[in-house]
Chains A and B, each alone.
Chain A
Amino acid sequence: MERIQLRKMHINQSGTVSAIKASGELGRRIRDMGLVPGTELTIVGRAPLQDPVALRLRDFTMTLRNGEADQIMVDVHEA
């Protein structure tokens, strides 16, 4: 198992959130959406200009900018 930044994940890759460094408003918004350590997520797509990124977690899809995704570390599952 490898631990990488969420930004570095490619489409259709899944993983488990291991740490979130964001604080303040960004941290709060991410947490309120249910993106907390231990959550399973899958990258479902990227916008045409590669940013933002769309991910699936807890039965819904959310989007994050790459800069925001940098604050999230994920243990990626083996393919």
Chain B
Amino acid sequence: MNTATVALIGNPNCGKSTLFNALTGSRQHVGNYPGITVEKHEGLLHTHKHEITLVDLPGTYSLTAFSEDELVARNFLIESKPDAVITVLDATNLERSTYLVLQIQELGVPVIVVLNMMDEVRRKGIGIDLARLSALLKSPVVEIVARTGEGKERLLTEICKALDEKPQAPDILLSYGNDLDPVLVNMQERIQASTLPPLPPRWLAVKYLEEDAEILAQGKASDPKAHEDLLAMVREVAEHCQKTLDMEPASLIADYRYGYITSLLRGVVTRPTTTRFDLTDKLDKILTQRLLGPIFMLGVLYGLFTLTIEIGAAPQGWVEDFFAWLNGIVSTNLPEGFVRSLLTSGIIDGVGGVLSFAPLIMIMFFFLSFLEDSGYLARMAYMLDRVFRIFGLHGSSVVPFIISGGIPGGCAVPGVMAARTLRSPRERIATVLTAPFLSCGAKTPVFLLIAVAFFPDNANQALFLVTLGGWAAVLIASFCLRHTVIPGASTPFVMELPPYRLPTLQGMILHTWERLWQYVKKAGTVILAISILIWAGMTFPQLPAERLAAHEAQVEQLGQQAFKNDEAREAAHAELDNLQAQEALRYSIAGRIGQAMESVTSPAGFDWRTNIALLGGFAAKEVIVSSLGTAYSMGDVDPEESEGLSARLAKDSKWNKWSAISFMAFVLLYAPCFVTIAVIGREIGWRWAAFSIIFNTSLAYIISVLIYQVGTRL
């Protein structure tokens, strides 16, 4: 058995992932390229002679250094030197796909050309002369239908042949015209006499003309003298082109490439005289129509959201029940003490809380894969771009926002992950940083609790206003961020509207599974550590020995007291338990921090008990209601049934309408929960994750103080 590496490369939406799945099945896994968020898909493929690692490179239109995706694809070809390269072409769109093939060939890499989507080509009545195309590109050409697996055997045969014969790269010498060709020859000579990176000299020369940032940097580092000489040649010819043609060399190069492709394909592709009915055009007439388009989009968003929550509720309940059951088992089988408390309150509650989101995430990603692979997501971005652009965002930002809680009940964790579909780095960071302001499903019970306590007649309106407040925060904050810490012109919108195509079930399932697994694995490990920390903070230090003794004495005393009935006895015991728990909490690190913070938080109207709840909320917003319960000595409060706590807060002298509003604003805006932070860190870097804790909390504090100070003085 020989081992080999084979790379798959092609334009976005050419069906590359579908082919990858058809070739490798479930024998695949996803990682990341070191240091960046671009995903690396690898899969295994066996032939009778070879054990092949198939690498699915990111979809790209070109091999420039303008985006991470392109750079990853290019560097993989250059540095990892795969044993064979398969270029996947959308055969309904040959000109643009061939542009990429030419660039790979110029890099000196032999390719197998795969024409995908042949079913659509046939349906449209387009003819493609494969033999001729193969002769002109000097490479094997295979036609396939990735969706059905048609042509897979022929492709495998070609792969084996390429691995056995190790063909040389065809010398396709593209002419760039009378203005550039002579300079290119001179530059090639200079490069051959230099110590620049060992890449095809002509390719390097073209990259210098295109002013490719990465190649220029490498050139400067490896041979400064040659680098300067080359730059001088480039400057001279650039000036000449500007004067005589009013064009920069890079434009001229693209012109010649496309000119070459047009003439190459002229004898290869035959079109029917009448164009047949095209489903995509008909659908777009309705789905992006001025009035119907936005209405349909609202329906899709609403449907995506309700389906996720509705379908997810049941499995989410099962996961929660499972952890409750586990908690019960541990509680009954272990003696009371630290180990039991750590296992139940710390680890099981913490990890269970995270895993209970997994069903929601799974369902959401399943629907999202459908929207993405079918081509509808691109239309949503197209329709909304004008609105979001005002705030420094991108049309594609809408999906992450909706999922994060744009309609109450979402969750920022899958929301932040969904921002991956954004291809513009600055807009993506703004989206990820602001999505946690929305009113997620864990914050909603807190708002409900406060609204019922202080605005009993208008609780629903209060909730609605909070939701609007979340949206306002998103738009205003991203506007501010895009003018301060993430400045820069908006990324060009130049984007493809791919034809509507029915996704494959296999593709959607694999996609969903792989994202779910990443969530469970990474967020799970971070959360485990944090849960233990929070548990320790609320447990240690223990009350001093004499207080513990006093507690025991109280319990004993209560035991000797006579009660009317068992109910009264239980109630009295519960009350004592809660009082003692409050005292212990107050004595713990968390309690002390809460008290120490009082001087800072009182301008916002929060006392130490509120502070503890908010501290707990750093870990997970679900904790807020239950820690308020402990702090107000109500025992463990079930967030779903918090009427008692509500009444208790309404009566408390420390609370009033304005501290209630201030508290809701703070909960809406302050630091994202730990799972979200972990995901932000992974998606856009740990410095941004730290930024979001500090920025959101400061913002929340300022707004809350304003509300409380202004409100109480009115």
Chain A positions near chain B (C-beta within 8 angstroms): 19-20, 23, 25-34, 36-39, 44-45, 47-52, 54, 58-65, 68
> What are the residues of chain B within 8 A of A25 when measuring CB–CB?
66, 491-492
B251 and A61 contact, CB distance less than 8 A: no
Minimum Cβ distance to chain A for residue B494 (Å): 4
B288 and A62 contact, CB distance less than 8 A: no
| A interface footprint on B91-110 (CB within 8 Å = 1, 0 otherwise) | 01111100100000000000
Q: Can you identify 18 A-B contacts, CB atoms within 8 angstroms?
A: A26-B492, A26-B494, A27-B251, A28-B64, A28-B66, A30-B494, A31-B254, A32-B61, A33-B61, A33-B96, A38-B258, A44-B281, A48-B293, A52-B385, A59-B92, A60-B498, A61-B496, A68-B494
| A interface footprint on B353-395 (CB within 8 Å = 1, 0 otherwise) | 0000000000000000000000000000011011101000000
> What are the residues of chain A within 8 A of B389 when measuring CB–CB?
65
> What are the residues of chain B within 8 A of A34 when measuring CB–CB?
95-96, 99, 258
> What are the residues of chain A within 8 A of B280 when measuring CB–CB?
61
B258 and A36 contact, CB distance less than 8 A: yes
> What are the residues of chain A within 8 A of B64 when measuring CB–CB?
28, 32
Other-chain residue from B254, B383, B387 in contact with A32 (beta carbon distance below 8 A): B254
Minimum Cβ distance to chain A for residue B97 (Å): 10
Complex Cα gap A27–B293 (Å): 30
A65 and B496 contact, CB distance less than 8 A: no
A28 and B250 contact, CB distance less than 8 A: yes
> What are the residues of chain B within 8 A of A58 when measuring CB–CB?
93, 95-96
Given known A20-B251, A60-B93, contact A48–B66 (CB-CB < 8 A)? no
Complex Cα gap A37–B62 (Å): 18
B382 and A47 contact, CB distance less than 8 A: yes
Given known A31-B250, A47-B288, A63-B382, contact A52–B93 (CB-CB < 8 A)? no
Other-chain residue from B99, B255, B494 in contact with A29 (beta carbon distance below 8 A): B494
Complex Cα gap A58–B492 (Å): 20
> What are the residues of chain B within 8 A of A31 when measuring CB–CB?
250-251, 254
> What are the residues of chain B within 8 A of A47 when measuring CB–CB?
288, 382-383, 385-386
B290 within 8 A of A: yes
Given known A39-B258, A45-B288, A48-B288, contact A63–B495 (CB-CB < 8 A)? yes
Complex Cα gap A26–B291 (Å): 30
A65 and B385 contact, CB distance less than 8 A: yes
Q: Known pairs A26-B494, A29-B61, A47-B383; list 6 more (Cβ under 8 Å).
A: A25-B66, A27-B251, A47-B288, A47-B382, A51-B386, A61-B280
B383 and A63 contact, CB distance less than 8 A: no
Complex Cα gap A48–B61 (Å): 28
> What are the residues of chain B within 8 A of A38 when measuring CB–CB?
255, 258-259
| A interface footprint on B249-265 (CB within 8 Å = 1, 0 otherwise) | 01100110011000000
> What are the residues of chain B within 8 A of A36 when measuring CB–CB?
251, 254-255, 258
Minimum Cβ distance to chain A for residue B658 (Å): 39
Complex Cα gap A32–B93 (Å): 14
Most chain A CB within 10 A, of B259, B294, B493, B494, is at: B494
> What are the residues of chain B within 8 A of A27 when measuring CB–CB?
248, 250-251
Complex Cα gap A38–B99 (Å): 16
B387 and A37 contact, CB distance less than 8 A: no
Complex Cα gap A36–B493 (Å): 17
A45 and B284 contact, CB distance less than 8 A: yes
B385-425 contacts to A, CB under 8 A, are 385-387, 389
> What are the residues of chain B within 8 A of A19 when measuring CB–CB?
246
| A interface footprint on B45-87 (CB within 8 Å = 1, 0 otherwise) | 0000000000000000110101000000000000000000000
Complex Cα gap A65–B386 (Å): 8
Chain A residue with Cβ nearest B284: A45
B497 within 8 A of A: yes
> What are the residues of chain A within 8 A of B386 when measuring CB–CB?
47, 49-52
> What are the residues of chain A within 8 A of B288 when measuring CB–CB?
45, 47-48, 54
> What are the residues of chain A within 8 A of B491 when measuring CB–CB?
25
Complex Cα gap A28–B492 (Å): 10
> What are the residues of chain A within 8 A of B499 when measuring CB–CB?
60
> What are the residues of chain B within 8 A of A52 when measuring CB–CB?
382, 385-386, 493
Most chain B CB within 10 A, of A19, A26, A38, A48, is at: A48
Minimum Cβ distance to chain B for residue A14 (Å): 14
Minimum Cβ distance to chain B for residue A27 (Å): 7
Complex Cα gap A44–B383 (Å): 14
Minimum Cβ distance to chain B for residue A63 (Å): 5
Complex Cα gap A49–B383 (Å): 7
Minimum Cβ distance to chain A for residue B370 (Å): 20
> What are the residues of chain A within 8 A of B294 when measuring CB–CB?
48
Complex Cα gap A67–B383 (Å): 16
A68 and B492 contact, CB distance less than 8 A: yes
Given known A44-B281, A47-B288, contact A33–B494 (CB-CB < 8 A)? yes
A62 and B293 contact, CB distance less than 8 A: no
| A interface footprint on B267-296 (CB within 8 Å = 1, 0 otherwise) | 000000000000011001000111101100
Minimum Cβ distance to chain A for residue B638 (Å): 45
Minimum Cβ distance to chain A for residue B649 (Å): 45
Chain B residue with Cβ nearest A39: B258
> What are the residues of chain B within 8 A of A60 when measuring CB–CB?
93, 96, 496, 498-499
Other-chain residue from B94, B259, B290, B497 in contact with A63 (beta carbon distance below 8 A): B497
> What are the residues of chain B within 8 A of A39 when measuring CB–CB?
258
B492 and A59 contact, CB distance less than 8 A: no
Minimum Cβ distance to chain B for residue A9 (Å): 17
Complex Cα gap A61–B99 (Å): 17
Chain B residue with Cβ nearest A22: B492
Complex Cα gap A61–B494 (Å): 11
Most chain A CB within 10 A, of B94, B251, B498, is at: B251
Chain A residue with Cβ nearest B246: A19
Most chain B CB within 10 A, of A20, A26, A59, A64, is at: A59
Chain A residue with Cβ nearest B492: A26
Minimum Cβ distance to chain B for residue A6 (Å): 12
Minimum Cβ distance to chain A for residue B10 (Å): 14
Closest A-B pairs by Cβ, 6 of them: A31-B254, A49-B386, A32-B62, A29-B494, A61-B497, A32-B61
Complex Cα gap A33–B254 (Å): 10
Chain B residue with Cβ nearest A49: B386
> What are the residues of chain B within 8 A of A63 when measuring CB–CB?
382, 493-497
Complex Cα gap A49–B61 (Å): 28
Minimum Cβ distance to chain A for residue B611 (Å): 45
A49 and B492 contact, CB distance less than 8 A: no
Minimum Cβ distance to chain B for residue A52 (Å): 6
Chain A residue with Cβ nearest B281: A44
B170-189 contacts to A, CB under 8 A, are none
Most chain B CB within 10 A, of A36, A47, A50, is at: A47
B387 and A49 contact, CB distance less than 8 A: yes
Other-chain residue from A23, A49, A62 in contact with B494 (beta carbon distance below 8 A): A62
Chain B residue with Cβ nearest A23: B248
Most chain A CB within 10 A, of B99, B383, B492, is at: B492
Minimum Cβ distance to chain A for residue B259 (Å): 8
